[in-house]
Chain A
């Protein structure tokens, strides 16, 4: 996932030798040698300047302007900065955002950590299914999830409330669950962010030397004492890292609170950025200034995250292969765990899509089971709208171009960082991971300021450019994890056989990295097709993808149409993932993400 610098065991090539070593973090391994930058390095650097550094810089420029980008009477002004930082207008929003981010992160780590421990150390029935089930939400759209949960658990019209009322014979005002609250937003975020924490912690648990736990058993400690006194302290860096990682994600996400929080007084900073940018009267400098405010927090989170990852590498101990940790035998606990996993999969992946289908088929957004009628009229009606077919084309454009181009850029970035190193490599590494710290919606405001006068403004191209910039870190992480495991002498052998750098990369490096790059491609396909955070600011009527169109229907209150478009989007994503899995043969299990 979007997890950088995960500690990975590196197995020396060729496979005959069984020596296993730990990947040293790039920073520590880089020797202070100076080399003339290669042509590739310079090109990558320039591309990153345009894709990453430019937009981020423009956020800060924008915050210091008096009015919208591209207007002739624009001048330097501190108004927006004053309003955001000092007027107090946004303090409540800032506070709410932090509470939300911290609670989501803490809960995601607790649940993700427990899930990881149970799935790596306990004989839970159906482990393989749950291992898969826990990463499924990564491939689903949080926006569609939030939409479905709104239809399920909105206070007045939500399916649960409406039907429980008549079933229990209670009055019109009875509310059983209310998803449109801060806890509701946290709950839906958790459904989608637990997998990140799970992936992170389970990879650390899998890499841990089993003999460390065995030694604890031999010293007379039981299962829980071992887990608490040996495993947990060893996992601390991974726990801390996943906490900050999820906190950064939760701080920057726009779409979940936007869908669920429209009726509540609380609105996170990301939503405020969106409002300042799009709601009349638009105040783009305020949006930019809010972006900078948000940026400081995510930057701090990323800094702490990277620091803990550096420690995580020190903690990882990889032993000889083939030794598996002893499985703890919990007689009742294992069944309880299986039930909890089943509930999670139900809530995160099954129920939302059932609701989505039901709502798409029922004509008037009726949530009362007694009065429901089903027909395909709604789907056909929405399908035949011209803006839907435009959105389809746009989504497919993004779904093909963004992952493909991003993987290529990411490979080049990783190559410069891992293979060429040097000072330029360090700069490229920094630029290439920077977008992690920039929430999509903030990045998008920077893109607006940067390209407002260019012909690509409000076209699908500008969304493509923005998404490539935003996803470079993910692609680069996959590519560099792969590159580190490809013995350097395999490339050197090609050079010695008369191949230039380009031929070496195309005939040796690229084929060997294919599995890693395919996994990256699939994941980025999912990201690009479901993306709302950036596209919502960047797209015009002609360049709207399906996800943004669905969001626009939500804004207009046309929930049924939103559900249908959300369903279309899901179909596109499923088809794409199946294509990647079975035609391209991408590997999508947890060890590859």
Chain B
């Protein structure tokens, strides 16, 4: 493993646009005693890009983030920020010297300081006047100007969140890290903050790494998503691509709800056969092996006469119907197993009906079947 990884030339060239810097993570490993939490991951973030580390708890996403911040030490690999190696197994730049800032899950608003003091904390070595105007400017930006003299504990959760955000951007960091910043907010506020946060990131243009276990947050905010599991990256791509072309069964299941049909791929690699059901796709399977899983989304499953026009048409029995307002969630029994369909609310289906179900070949995607 080489110790110095240069940022790719193309990435470095576009650095002029934002104030952010390029981040290169290469072969990163992090060990806690005997347990390896992160098992060698690589990714590159372009200046100004918003990348999300997404995954279930214990997948190593927060550990990775804290390692970039300098709060954990790597046991292997390197982290390069703006062309400079900031962390390797042998040498780590202390967190305060990295020019990175972070929004913490618990906000970490210092209770013994006012909002103003909290935000201005990182502006050491600046003249008082300049620092004050920077703080005022940022507080204006996050809409907290009227609260400047309040103490952190006198604010609501959403306001504390904004203080944390203001404190993180006021130092004009090269890289901004978010550690599940919205997980302590209630649902309504979370949605609102999601948009505010993204808008702010776009305004400031800072390179950002965001950690979450919430796929909606990841999908709606990120330029690219790195889906992690058990200390490795399963897939790194734009949200739309991960949704449409998941690389693994895990990726298909974790992001959105997917129907999985496991079987054997034919010689032409465009059809998967399983227990009397065949699923065809437009794009041939380009992976290894012949055990293949066909993936399609429940909103692409159609019931009724229209289904006959589709490449994949099956006869199925309705097992369960759940009315969800905007649509109906239907469980369909196929010879190979149960699939789910999301159909319009006015569809006339009842438990026990024999129906025709169909999916377009272009909505089907093949991934390697998981063992077991």
Residues of A whose CB lies within 8 Å of any CB of B are 12-17, 31-35, 487, 489-490, 492-500, 503, 507-508, 511-512
Contacts and interface: CB of A to CB of B under 8 A. Distances in A.
B111 A512 contact: yes
A499 B33 contact: no
A33 B33 contact: yes
Interface in B106-127: 106-112, 121-122, 124
A15 B153 contact: yes
B169 to A, nearest CB: 11
A497 B106 contact: no
B106 A14 contact: yes
A499 B102 CA distance: 13
A33 B111 CA distance: 31
A496 B101 contact: yes
A512 B112 contact: yes
Nearest to A504: B96
Given A14-B152, A16-B157, A35-B73, A498 B171 contact: yes
B33 A492 contact: no
B96 A498 contact: yes
Nearest to A32: B33
A493 B94 contact: no
Given A14-B160, A32-B33, A508 B153 contact: no
B101 A497 contact: yes
Contacts of A490: 108, 110
A512 B151 CA distance: 14
A540 B326 CA distance: 90
Residue among B70, B96, B112 facing the most chain A CB atoms (10 A cut-off):
B96
B40 interface: no
Contacts of A16: 156-157, 160, 184
A492 B112 contact: no
Interface in B164-220: 164, 167-168, 171, 177, 184
Given A14-B109, A489-B108, 12 more contacts: A14-B157, A16-B157, A32-B33, A489-B105, A492-B69, A495-B71, A496-B100, A496-B101, A496-B168, A497-B122, A503-B124, A508-B110
27 contacts: A12-B106, A13-B106, A13-B108, A14-B106, A14-B109, A17-B184, A32-B34, A33-B31, A34-B33, A35-B73, A487-B106, A489-B108, A490-B108, A492-B71, A493-B164, A493-B167, A494-B121, A496-B95, A496-B101, A497-B96, A497-B122, A497-B167, A498-B171, A499-B122, A507-B121, A508-B110, A512-B111
B106 to A, nearest CB: 5
B254 interface: no
Main secondary structure of the interface of A (DSSP, over half): loop
Nearest to B184: A17
A16 B111 CA distance: 12
Contacts of B110: 490, 493-494, 508, 512
Contacts of B152: 14
A150 B129 CA distance: 68
Nearest to B185: A16
Contacts of A14: 106-107, 109, 111, 152-153, 157, 160
Contact of B96 (A487, A489, A496, A508): A496
B43 interface: no
Given A495-B96, A498-B96, A500-B94, A487 B112 contact: no
B32 interface: yes
A12 B183 CA distance: 15
Interface string B72-113: 010000000000000000000011110011101111111110
Interface string B29-48: 00111100000000000000
Nearest to B119: A497
Interface of B: 31-34, 69-71, 73, 94-97, 100-102, 104-112, 121-122, 124, 152-153, 156-157, 160, 164, 167-168, 171, 177, 184
B121 A497 contact: yes
- Which 10 pairs between the two chains have the least Cβ-Cβ distance? A497-B122, A493-B108, A489-B108, A32-B33, A495-B95, A489-B104, A496-B102, A511-B112, A498-B96, A490-B108
Contacts of A493: 102, 104, 108, 110, 164, 167
B70 A495 contact: yes
Contacts of B97: 498
B124 A499 contact: yes
Nearest to A487: B106
B157 A492 contact: no
A33 B160 contact: no
Contacts of B106: 12-14, 487, 489
Contacts of A512: 110-112
Contacts of B111: 13-15, 512
A507 B105 CA distance: 21
B333 to A, nearest CB: 43
B167 A31 contact: no
B69 A496 contact: yes
Nearest to A13: B106
A499 B100 CA distance: 12
Nearest to B102: A496
Contacts of A498: 96-97, 122, 124, 171
Contacts of A507: 121
Contacts of B164: 493
A497 B171 contact: yes
Contacts of A489: 104-106, 108
Contacts of A17: 184
B96 A499 contact: yes
Contacts of A500: 94, 96
Contacts of A503: 124
Contacts of A13: 106, 108, 111
A498 B101 CA distance: 8
A508 B111 CA distance: 9
Contacts of B100: 496
B32 A31 contact: yes
Given A15-B153, A490-B110, A33 B32 contact: yes
A351 B123 CA distance: 59
A489 B152 CA distance: 15
A500 to B, nearest CB: 5
A570 B88 CA distance: 60
A492 B102 contact: yes
Contacts of B34: 32
A578 B171 CA distance: 44
Contacts of B105: 489
A464 B278 CA distance: 86
Residue among B94, B95, B124, B152 facing the most chain A CB atoms (10 A cut-off):
B95
Contacts of A492: 69, 71, 95, 102, 104, 108
